[in-house]
Amino acid sequence: MDAVNPLTEAAPRGGAPIGSRVRPSRRLADRTLRIACLLATIIGAVVLGSILLMLIVEGLRGFSATLLTQPTPGPGSEGGGIANAVLGSLILTLIGIVVATPIGVMAGTYLAEYGRGSKLADLIRFLNDVLLSAPSILIGLFVYTLMVRPMGTYSGWAGGVALAIIATPVIVRTTEDMLRLVPGTLREAGAALGAPTSRVIMSVTWRAASAGIVTGVILALARIAGETAPLLFTALNNNSWFNANLMGGVANLPVMIYQFALSPYPNWQSLAWAGALLITMAILALSVVARLVIKTERAR
């Protein structure tokens, strides 16, 4: 006996088949949704492309031979560059990533290797997720209360700590996820050889997940490279070369862009555009490197 398709079976009392009423409506809904998604994609691409095009055009106008060799100029003066701001940003970012990397990797290792099924690990994971989405300005206020007010001055150390707090949750989440992807058979093989858990983690799981962990560090580096709000409350800014002890205001690129863009001086505005283009290209390069690392790991 042949099976009857309920969608093509004729409706009772001479009505139209069920499929003739259902399928056109589904096609219409699918086509409508597809067109809506396409339009949303085009609008987003046009807006982002316009922003990037404006940034490239205005940023290239601000480039000069002295851009990366001279410090930022004073109010109303001509010439100058952003060399001190670039150097200050590199040092603050380096401090942040050096502090955040060991903390993030060790915390992610605990969550993936020791804390499975633990209530403490669940609590840490929840707090890490909250911190991951916390507004950066709140972190700046926290470090301001913790370090700037007791010391009585802004400092590069406070700025580095603020950036480290922002970068740590990214490294924790990435490290945990990468370690969870390591097959359990590798851990069992190490344990079968008589190696303690610590040795298995350092020699087997970390090595297997090294590319993913490095990718997390690079993504965290890109995350903090353009942060402005926390540095406003911690490192502030300085138009001259900074002190070796990093005490007092420290020149940095994000705050320089913020202050120069709001100024009435055309020279400062031009330098702000050039700095914005420079920091965008740096973040783009870090993102490309992270994707290349992931691609290389997948190819292995």
Per-residue pLDDT reduced to its tens digit, 93-112: 999 999 999 999 999 999 99
User: What is the spatial distance between Cα 274 and Cα 60, in angstroms, rounded to a whole number?
Assistant: 6
Q: Give me the pLDDT at residue 294, please.
A: 76
What is the rounded CA–CA span in Å between residue 161 and residue 139? 10
pLDDT of residue 296: 75
In tens, the pLDDT along 37-96 reads 999 999 999 999 999 999 999 999 989 888 999 999 988 888 889 999 999 999 999 999
pLDDT of amino acid 12:
53
**Domain extents in the chain:** 12-62, 83-299
Nearest 5°: phi and psi at 164?
-65, -40
* 1 vs 121, higher pLDDT: 121
**Beta pairing partners, 247:** 155
Mean pLDDT (the chain, rounded): 88
Residue 260 to residue 264: CA distance in whole angstroms:
8
The average pLDDT across 12-24 equals 56
Question: Among residues of the chain, what percentage have pLDDT more than 90?
Answer: 64
Q: What is the pLDDT of residue 48?
A: 94
**Per-residue pLDDT band at 24 (split at 50, 70, 90):** confident
Alpha-carbon span 300 to 95, nearest angstrom: 32
pLDDT, one tens digit per residue, over 168-202 is: 999 999 999 999 999 989 888 988 888 898 999 99
Cα(179)–Cα(209) distance, rounded to whole angstroms?
6
Mean pLDDT value across residues 25-41:
93
Residue 121, Cα to own-chain centre: how many angstroms?
Answer: 24
H or E element that contains 190: helix 184-192
Q: Which range has the worst mean pLDDT, 154-163, 225-234, 285-294?
A: 285-294
> Distance between alpha carbon 240 and the CA centroid of its chain, in Å?
29
The per-residue pLDDT for 1 is 46
Q: Which residues are CB-neighbours of 214 under 8 A, at least 6 positions away?
A: 293
Which pLDDT belongs to residue 78? 87
pLDDT at 262 over 70: yes
Instruction: Residues 83-299: name the CATH superfamily.
Output: MetI-like (1.10.3720.10)
